Amino acid sequence: MKKERAYKRYKSTDEIQTNIEKFQTDVIDIQPMAISLVDISEGGLCVDMKNSIPIGQHVNVDVKIGNQGFNLIARVVWNKNFDDYYKVGLELVYVDELFVFKLKSIVNQKNSMENNN
């Protein structure tokens, strides 16, 4: 039986941008990574990236929704290797309540525009 997700996932939009900085608590190892957002939810996000990040690794995730920026902390929960990129699942460890509000607002606005067309 397939387990249901705790939060609805939303596909990437032009209004939502992301950036990841890898970090470790025991050693200073900060490496900004170019990523492409696949989808996002209140509980996590899925991204495509050129390099893999080990499962369990914590990362800083900068998310920009409209003109509002958020710095979130996520943990890598899975990654899959494709020919020339990795698909990585990130669980949000720290979530700002304003982030959740802005995410829902932008998605509701987009859904409303699509339903009117």
Q: Domain residues of the chain, as ranges?
A: 10-116
For 65-115, the pLDDT digits (tens) are 878 888 888 999 999 999 898 999 999 998 888 988 888 887 777 667 667
* pLDDT score for 2: 58
Q: What is the pLDDT of residue 111?
A: 66
8 A C-beta contact, residue 72 and residue 98: no
Give SS3 for 86.
strand
Cβ-based neighbours of 28, under 8 Å, separated by 6 or more: none
Q: Which residue has the higher pLDDT, 45 or 109?
A: 45
What's the CATH number of domain 10-116, 3.30.70.3450, 3.40.50.2300, 3.90.1300.10, 2.40.10.220?
2.40.10.220
Please tell me the distance from the alpha carbon of residue 62 to that of residue 65, in angstroms, as a whole number: 10
Q: What's the predicted TM-score (pTM) here?
A: 0.77
**pLDDT (tens digit per residue) in 10-23:** 676 655 666 666 55
Judged on CB neighbours under 10 Å (0-12, 13-18, 19+), 113 is exposed
Confidence category of residue 58, pLDDT binned at 50, 70, 90: confident
pLDDT of residue 63: 84
pLDDT score recorded for residue 28: 43
Interval 23-35: pLDDT, tens: 544 444 556 667 8
Q: What is the pLDDT of residue 26?
A: 44
